[in-house]
Amino acid sequence: MTADSIVRVLAWEALDSRGRPTVACRVETAGGAVGRAIAPSGASRGAHEAVERRDGGTRYGGYGVRGAVAAVQGELAPLVVGRRAADRVAIDDDIEALDGEPGFARLGGNAALAVSLAVTLAHAAAEREPLWRTLDDGPRPLIPMPMVNILSGGAHAGGAIDLQDFLAVPVGASSFAEAIEWVSRVRAACAAAVDAAGGWSALVADEGGLSARLDSNEDALRILTSGIEDAGLVPGEQLAVAIDVAASQLVEDGRIRLATESMGLDSAAWVARVAEWVGRYPIVSVEDVLGEDDWDGWAVAARALPGIQLVGDDLFATDAGRLARGIREGAANAVLVKVNQAGSVTRAERVVRAARAAGLAQIVSARSGDTEDDWLADLAVGWRAGQIKVGSTMRSERTAKWNRLLELEASGETAFAGRRGIAPLG
Ligand code: PGA
Ligand code: ZN
Confidence of residue 137 (pLDDT cuts 50, 70, 90): low
Which atom belonging to ligand 1 lies closest to the Cα atom of 155?
Answer: 4
User: Does the pLDDT of residue 138 top 80, yes or no?
Assistant: no
**Interval 62-73 mean pLDDT:** 98
Ligand 1 neighbours, Cβ below 6 Å, are: 42-45, 164, 244, 246, 313, 365, 367-368
**Strands (E) located in 314-425:** 334-337, 361-365, 387-391, 415-416
How large is the greatest C-alpha to C-alpha distance in the chain, in angstroms? Answer: 65
- Residue 156 is given by DSSP the state G
Domain residue ranges of the chain, discontinuous segments joined by +: 6-129, 135-421
- Residue from 49, 287, 292, 338 carrying the catalytic annotation: 338
Distance between CA atoms of 167 and 179, rounded to whole angstroms?
A: 13
pTM of the predicted model over 0.85: yes
Q: Is 237 a catalytic residue?
A: no
Q: Which amino acid is at 243?
A: I
Query: What's the pLDDT at 413?
Result: 86
Q: For 173-218, how does the pLDDT look when each residue is reduced to its tens digit (9 = 90+)?
A: 999 999 999 999 999 999 999 999 989 999 999 999 999 999 999 9
Confidence of residue 156 (pLDDT cuts 50, 70, 90): very high
Q: For 254-302, how does the pLDDT look when each residue is reduced to its tens digit (9 = 90+)?
A: 999 999 999 999 999 999 999 999 999 999 999 999 999 999 999 999 9
Dihedral (Cα; 288, 289, 290, 293), 10-degree rounding: -30
Under 8 Å between Cβ of 185 and 232: yes
Q: For 369-402, how does the pLDDT look when each residue is reduced to its tens digit (9 = 90+)?
A: 999 999 999 999 999 999 999 999 999 999 999 9
Under 8 Å between Cβ of 391 and 150: no
Q: What is the CATH code of the structural domain delimited by 6-129?
A: 3.30.390.10
Spatial CA neighbour of 91 closest among 37, 14, 27, 12? 27
Query: 135-421 is classed in which CATH architecture?
Result: Alpha-Beta Barrel (3.20)
Which atom belonging to ligand 1 lies closest to the Cα atom of 164?
Answer: 8
Q: Is 287 a catalytic residue?
A: no
Distance between CA atoms of 224 and 221, rounded to whole angstroms?
A: 5
Query: What's the pLDDT at 426?
Result: 79
Q: Is 232 exposed, middle or buried (0-12, 13-18, 19+ CB in 10 A)?
A: exposed
CA of 370 to the centre of ligand 2 (A): 14
